[in-house]
Structure 1
Amino acid sequence: MAKDNRILIGKIGAAHGVKGQVRITPFTQYAEDIAAYGPLGTDRPGLSVTITDLRVQKNVVIARLKSIADRTTAEKLNGVSLYVDRDVLPEPEEEDEFYHADLIGLDARREDGTVIGKVSALPNFGAGDLIEVRDPLSGDTYLYPFTRAVVPDINLDDGYVTIIVPLDAEIGEEEPD
């Protein structure tokens, strides 16, 4: 799996129980989908994992991994990131659905075409999706709501998103007295 073609879909956490199960935080739309992609690549050279059984528990899955049968071995996997090759993921079904990995690195432009930075992340701190734009000159980052009103145009083919900067978040503007 080429590093630039892989998508992070989960992260292994602590061991669970004494029979080698692990907790996995999934980054898939539905938690149980993490097992649907077959063997998963990892951020450890030469290591891939296959989920043989899982159950959803709140915001994590408790998983049994092929060839992991004891707690000591499971504990060594804590912190391992799980990846799938981008080519095995289905194309988004809706016009306004995107994989985060497809948006990161795109130019962020104002409506007039002025480049204000690059998309560096798409965090969600609980109040909705945000789009993070990094200014290449200053290194500063700016967060905007990831809504159609603020991000009306996403052009993957040409490599940019259009950002309508909310009036109360103008870059470089002085605050009113």
Structure 2
Amino acid sequence: MMSKGSLMHTGDPQNDRSGAVSQPKSGQEEKEEVIETVGALPEDAVEVGYIADSYGLKGWVKVVPHANGRSGGDTLLSAKRWWLTKSRERKSAHCMQSKVHADTIVARLGGCEDRNASEALKGYVVHIARSDFPKLNDEDEFYWVDLIGLDVENEAGVALGRVTDLIDNGAQSVLRIESPRTDKDGKPVTGERLIPFVGVYVKTVDRAAKRIVVDWNIDY
């Protein structure tokens, strides 16, 4: 397929004395050059950041990722389709180009041609399909999104709760685990445990069984 802007020759010089015309754009190319409104996001859409500002004068946007590197931030550098949400708005955009800029990601989206267009996207939340995440190289590596919702138990089989979030303390990721408890009056309350996601504590992660086994005492 010829690239955008390439020329193809026609066999009828009566139509074009120069002997060349611009190649018509395919339906896919036209779709990639607009930011279109959609009814819903993909079922596996994952929120990965938000558009904080415009970048430069040629329609680039600046995205603050929720996580860095293998935590999920690198999806913004590999995924070609982004979904943008703000309030009840849902949009689909083709990511033409993206790169790291300090602690942010800057990107050029199809259909966003100037600074006015990019400024109109400020505040939109960015989602990427989980199926577009880069493949991990190590079986002991996990994306945060794949850990959230897993049940946690210790090596004695005692349930400790369920992962509701992860925290990056700068040195390591930490599992935030919520578990039902009772207070001194016997009323149900939600307790919280923070367990560092490191090998000394985390023994197995079984995504199929939706379970994490840790070396952690219930009284910790």
Identify the TM-score tier after normalising by the shorter chain: 0.7 to 0.9
Equivalent runs, 1:7-156 vs 2, <5 Å: 7-26=46-65, 27=67, 29=69, 34-44=76-86, 45-137=89-181, 138-156=189-207
Give the total of aligned pairs. Answer: 168
Instruction: Give 1:57 shift.
Output: 1.6
TM (normalized to structure 1)? 0.80
Q: Would the aligned equivalents of 1:32 and 1:54 in 2 still touch at CA under 8 Å?
A: no
Percent identity of paired positions between Structure 1 and Structure 2: 25
Higher strand share: 2
Instruction: Give 1:64 shift.
Output: 1.8
Q: Does 1:170 align with 2:210?
A: no
Bigger Cα displacement from structure 2, 104-113 vs 39-48: 39-48
Gaps of 5+ in 1: 172-177
Gaps of 5+ in 2: 1-40, 182-188
DSSP 3-state at the match of 2:138 = coil
Instruction: Give 1:8 shift.
Output: 2.8
The superposition leaves residues 80-115 of structure 1 with CA deviations (integer Å, 9 ceiling, x where unpaired) of: 222222223354321201121111001111211111
DSSP 3-state at the match of 1:136 = strand
Cα distance in 2 for partners of 1:79, 1:20 equals 15
Instruction: Give 1:161 shift.
Output: 0.6
Please give the root-mean-square deviation of Cα atoms over the aligned residues, in Å.
Answer: 2.5
* Cα 1:33–1:46 shift into 2, 3 Å: closer
TM (normalized to structure 2)? 0.66
The superposition leaves residues 49-84 of structure 1 with CA deviations (integer Å, 9 ceiling, x where unpaired) of: 222233422121222221112333322322322222
Instruction: Give 1:146 shift.
Output: 0.7
